[in-house]
Chains A and B, each alone.
Chain A
Amino acid sequence: MENFTPYSALAGGVLIGLAATLLLLFNGRIAGISGMMSGLINATRAELFWRCAFLIGIVIGAFLFNQIKPDFYHPREHFPLWLLAIGGFLVGFGTRMGNGCTSGHAVCGIARFSVRSIVATLTFMGNGFLTVYIIRHVLGVSV
C-alpha cells in the first residue's frame, strides 16, 4: 500500500467524470474511448472530426500535465514489446466484441444504470484481476 495516492486518484477521476459530462451535455455523446478509436476506421466526416478532436485532446491534456508535473509519470522499462502487442490486440478485439471499455461501460454506462455496462465492467475487472493473479502468482512472472 506504500504507493497509494488517494487524493490525486480521486481528483483525476473527478476530471474524467467532468469530461464525460461536458461531452454528453453539449454534444450528446458518450465518452467511450475504444468506440472513438475504432470509429476512426470507417466514420462519416462529421463523426470523424469530433472523435479526432477528443482523442487529440487526450494527447494534449496528458502532454500539458506532464510539462507542469513531470513526477506523475514513471516510464516502464524492459517490458517485452511482443507481450504489449498481444495485450493491445486483446484490448482492441475484446472492446469491439463487448462494445466498450473502462470509459464507455464503467464511467458512462454505469452512470446510466445500464445493467449491460455493469455486467461488462464486473467481467473485465474480474478478468483483469484473474490475469494479473495468474501471471504474477501462478506463473511467478514479475512484469
Chain B
Amino acid sequence: MNTFIIALVSGIVFGVGLALSQMTNPSKVLNFLDIAGNWDPSLMLVMVGALTVTILSFTQILKRPMPLFDKQFYLSSKSAIDKPLIIGASIFGMGWGISGYCPGPAVAGLGLGNSEAIVMIFGIYMGFIAHRLLDQ
C-alpha cells in the first residue's frame, strides 16, 4: 500500500512537471528539435532541471543498501552498447521527431483532454506488440 501511494504521488508530481514545462505541447517539442528553424531551447532546460536533481539525489540514494519501502533497488543490469540499443533509440527518435510526443507527455495528454494522446498511445501499444512479436 505504501509503495502504491508513493507511485501515485510521484506520478502526480511528474505529471505537473510535464504540464508546467510544456512538454505536453507537441509543437513546442518539435520547435525544440528544429535547430535549423525557429529554435526554442526551453526543453533543454527541462533536462537541466531534472538532471540537476537526479544526479544529486541518485548518487546519495544508491549509497543506501535498500530503498525505504522495499528490499532492493530495481535497476537495469545491462551495460552493452549494442545494435538493439542504437537502432531502438534511433527509431524512437524518429517517432519523437514525427509526432512531438515521447511516452510521458502522451500519457499526460489524457489528463488534458487531448484527443491526439489517444491516437499516440494506441500507436505506442501497437509498437510494443510488434516488437514483442518480432522478438520471439
A contact set with B: CB distance below 8 Å: 1-6, 8-31, 33-34, 37-38, 41, 49-51, 53-66, 69, 72-76, 79, 81, 83-99, 101-103, 105-112, 114-116, 119-121, 123-133, 135-137, 143
Contacts and interface: CB of A to CB of B under 8 A. Distances in A.
Contact of A112 (B39, B58, B80, B86): B58
Contacts of A136: 34, 36-37
A38 to B, nearest CB: 5
A1 B39 contact: yes
A8 B93 CA distance: 24
Interface residues of B, number: 116
10 contacts: A3-B31, A54-B8, A64-B16, A69-B20, A74-B28, A81-B116, A93-B91, A98-B90, A101-B103, A123-B90
A97 B84 contact: yes
Interface in B62-96: 62, 66-70, 72-76, 78-81, 84-96
- Per CB-CB distance, the 10 closest pairs between chain A and chain B, nearest first, are A57-B11, A88-B123, A92-B127, A61-B15, A13-B49, A12-B21, A98-B88, A127-B93, A17-B53, A131-B97
Given A74-B27, A97-B91, A127 B97 contact: yes
A110 B114 CA distance: 30
A69 B42 CA distance: 18
Nearest to B108: A62
Interface in B112-129: 112, 114, 116, 119-129
Contact of B6 (A12, A22, A93, A109): A22
Contacts of B124: 34, 37, 88-89, 91-92, 95
Interface of B: 2-28, 30-31, 33-55, 57-59, 61-62, 66-70, 72-76, 78-81, 84-104, 106-112, 114, 116, 119-132, 135
B15 A59 contact: yes
Given A62-B16, A114-B79, A92 B126 contact: yes
B19 A72 contact: yes
B2 A26 contact: yes
A26 B74 CA distance: 12
B92 A98 contact: yes
B67 A18 contact: no
Contacts of B135: 96
Contacts of A64: 12, 15-16, 111
Given A4-B41, A17-B49, A119-B86, A61 B6 contact: no
